[in-house]
């Protein structure tokens, strides 16, 4: 209630807190990591494949609506990491200090699904185990080319203890949901220590 007569000693609601969270977006080359971010942040889709060189960092502010009507703005820094093998030696530096992870594979390319275990193992090796993370099967618009059916992915997700989502960076299906989910998980996770 903005115009309620609040006593002066009533604590102020802090809307802008400036907390910055780093989210690493991981997965093989050409699975659609950059495309998912582009769709989410710029509402655009690019048909041509332009492999990420090293890392792209995208900043995005989100407003969280808390119970009781309080709003809190947090900043997300998405580290969209190159999936091509020539950049593997940089992973340790790129992963450092991540607060969340989005693992992405392409539902039309089984090897990208198999490699999720390797991406996950690497995260464990670099100490990121237990931080909020989700698994995403991308390119669901290519339904006729699908090789990984949802139950297969759900089974892996269960083994790795991750929620599973399907998206299309092309049509936009499921895109907003994955970003909302990771924010919700990160916020719930870090709030405990805040
Ligand atoms: N049909 C379809 N194509 C997609 C989708 N997402 C990405 N692509 C295409 O897949 C190719 C690779 O997309 P990128 O987003 O560059 O892939 P990436 O995972 O960032 O690749 P690296 O930067 O090399 O790791 C591009 O040609 C995109 O247009 C999707 O949901 N549907
Ligand atoms: Mg990329």
Q: What's the 160 CA to ligand 2 centre distance in angstroms?
A: 24
- List the beta bridge partners of residue 150: none
For residue 1, how far is its CA from the centre of ligand 2 (angstroms)? 44
Q: How many other CB atoms are there within 10 angstroms of residue 70's CB atom?
A: 11
Residue 10 within a domain: no
Looking at ligand 1, which residue's alpha carbon is closest to its atom 23?
Answer: 52
Q: For 150-187, how does the pLDDT look when each residue is reduced to its tens digit (9 = 90+)? A: 999 999 999 999 999 999 999 999 999 999 999 989 88
For 36-46, the pLDDT digits (tens) are: 999 999 999 99
Structure token pair of residue 189: 């996770």
What CATH number does the domain containing 178 carry? 3.40.50.300
| CA 54 / ligand 2 centre spacing (Å) | 9
Q: Is residue 76 part of a domain?
A: yes
Nearest atom (ligand 1) to Cα of 52 = 23
Q: Are 56 and 34 in contact (CB under 8 A)?
A: yes
Please report whether residue 1 resides in a domain: no
Q: Total structural domains in the chain?
A: 1
> Rounded CA gap, 8 and 165, in Å?
46
Q: Which domain holds residue 34?
A: 15-190
Please give the Cα distance from 147 to 113 (Å, whole number): 10
């Amino acid at each position: 209630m903005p115009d309620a007569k609040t006593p002066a000693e009533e604590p102020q609601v802090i809307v802008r807190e400036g907390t910055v969270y780093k989210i690493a977006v991981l997965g093989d080359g050409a699975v659609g990591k950059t495309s998912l971010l582009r769709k989410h942040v710029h509402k655009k889709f690019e048909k041509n494949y332009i492999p990420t060189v090293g890392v792209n960092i995208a900043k995005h502010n989100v407003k969280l609506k808390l119970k009781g009507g309080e709003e809190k703005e947090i900043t997300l820094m998405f580290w969209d990491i190159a999936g091509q093998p020539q950049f593997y030696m940089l992973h340790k530096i790129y992963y450092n200090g991540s607060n969340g992870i989005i693992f992405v594979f392409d539902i039309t390319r089984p090897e990208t699904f198999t490699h999720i275990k390797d991406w996950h193992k690497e995260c464990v090796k670099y100490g990121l185990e237990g931080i909020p993370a989700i698994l995403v099967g991308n390119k669901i618009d290519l339904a006729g080319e699908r090789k990984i059916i949802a139950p297969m992915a759900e089974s892996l997700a269960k083994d790795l203890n991750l929620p599973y989502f399907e998206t299309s960076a092309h049509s936009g299906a499921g895109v907003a949901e994955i970003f909302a989910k990771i924010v919700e998980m990160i916020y719930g996770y870090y709030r405990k220590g805040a």
